[in-house]
Structure 1
Amino acid sequence: MDLITAQRLVFTMLDADGDGVVSRDEYMARTRNVALATGRKDDDTLVVTARTLGEQAWASMDANGDGRMTFDEYAGWAGAEAFDTVCASVLGALFDLADADEDGALNLPEFTTLRTALNNPAGNAEAAFAALDANGDGRISRDDYIASIRAHVTGESSPMGEALYSTGTAQALGGR
């Protein structure tokens, strides 16, 4: 998958209302949605951390400060450096919200809860989990999760990313 296609898939997922622009509210809803899906309260330390990191990420993405991000703004911002300095910590904080037993890994229900709260279809989440759980132990580590999303958003091969962000999950997995 080429870089622009990968970026468009992520942008489409972020654009929850489908209007072609990601608003600050849409982006910040990610933390709220995961907290609600996992039964965490607003004052939970993990929720506060995820919200704070989300605010920092939004400030970095919304360079002109208008509260809206177009695809062109996103594509100009997104990349390895932005992922490493901004996105990885936000994604890690959201992962931690879903890690109910705090063991540093997600099982399929936790992963599906996380990804559906982030606007991915449940079928995509299940296919993405299968693609990432290479050893078949039923668990995905935080590091593997973040590395796979990084590979996807930087245009590298990421079967999990392709499954997660595609609307055609079967096609993204090569018909598996």
Structure 2
Amino acid sequence: MPLPQAEPQAAPADLTTPKARIYAMLDTDGDGVASKHDYFVRIERAQRATGRADDDPLVVAARATGERAWAAMDANGDGVMTYQEYISWVDAEKFDTICQYALGALFDLADADEDGALDRSEFTLLREALGNRADNAGSAFDALDADGDGRVGRAEYLASIRAYVTGDGSPMGDALY
């Protein structure tokens, strides 16, 4: 039996909380709600930015993990995830079982040499494709590149996003948002 459809409600204008900031980023067209189109346009942007073909295995994986993530987030199947639905849904367990795979697949798209790490240009390309401002990607990269080797590994990238989403504090999240 389908769940009742929620009336779309815009995110709050006050974007000081991590969840509000992330939700606003997910709302790629800026209409106040995150739709399935909004969610998948981020994958399309990452694909275009990396120059990968539709049948590239990494693009296929990104779409598949995106489909699983969207299905979990849009539990009532109405094609819209309201802000209230998002903040009620997202937590550490959801990040660990759903979000990290979708975000990891996007990371993999940007990892041009497939070495498990992004250099500064790959990181900036990914963050811009996902809807982050271009002017702060450098400071976010620096916050994550703790050893100063000019690379950000997949695990540290995902851990930083997890920390930001769950409210544990994230140097990258603080710099990006």
TM over 0.5: yes
User: Counterparts of 1:162 and 1:13 in 2: how far apart (Å)?
Assistant: 14
User: Counterparts of 1:74 and 1:116 in 2: how far apart (Å)?
Assistant: 22
Q: 1:48 aligns with which of 60, 78, 88?
A: 60
Deviation at 1:162, TM superposition (A): 1.4
User: Counterparts of 1:27 and 1:127 in 2: how far apart (Å)?
Assistant: 25
User: Counterparts of 1:51 and 1:30 in 2: how far apart (Å)?
Assistant: 10
TM-score (norm: length of structure 1): 0.90
Tell me which stretches of 4 or more aligned residues in structure 1 moved more than 6 Å.
none
Highest RCO, 1 vs 2 (Cα 8 Å, sep ≥ 6):
1
Give the aligned partner of residue 169 of structure 1.
Answer: none
Give the aligned partner of residue 7 of structure 1.
Answer: 19
- Asked if 1:29 is matched to 2:49, the reply is no
- Asked if 1:105 is matched to 2:109, the reply is no
Q: Can you list the C-alpha shifts for 1:26-63, whole angstroms capped at 9, x where unaligned?
A: 10111111010000011000000000000110000001
TM-score (norm: length of structure 2): 0.90
- Tell me the percent identity: 62
1:74-113 paired onto structure 2 within 5 Å: 74-113=86-125
Give the aligned partner of residue 153 of structure 1.
Answer: 165
User: Counterparts of 2:24 and 2:149 in 1: how far apart (Å)?
Assistant: 31
Give the aligned partner of residue 59 of structure 1.
Answer: 71
Deviation at 1:123, TM superposition (A): 1.5
In structure 1, runs of 5+ residues without a counterpart are: 167-176
* Higher share of residues assigned helix: 1
- Asked if 1:133 is matched to 2:145, the reply is yes
Task: For residue 16 of structure 1, give the secondary structure of its aligned residue in structure 2.
Answer: coil
Task: For residue 17 of structure 2, give the secondary structure of its aligned residue in structure 1.
Answer: helix
Task: For residue 150 of structure 2, give the secondary structure of its aligned residue in structure 1.
Answer: coil
Give the aligned partner of residue 39 of structure 1.
Answer: 51
In structure 2, runs of 5+ residues without a counterpart are: 1-15
Question: Aligned pairs, how many?
Answer: 162
Deviation at 1:97, TM superposition (A): 0.3
User: Counterparts of 1:83 and 1:39 in 2: how far apart (Å)?
Assistant: 28
Opposite residue 110 of structure 1, the aligned amino acid is E
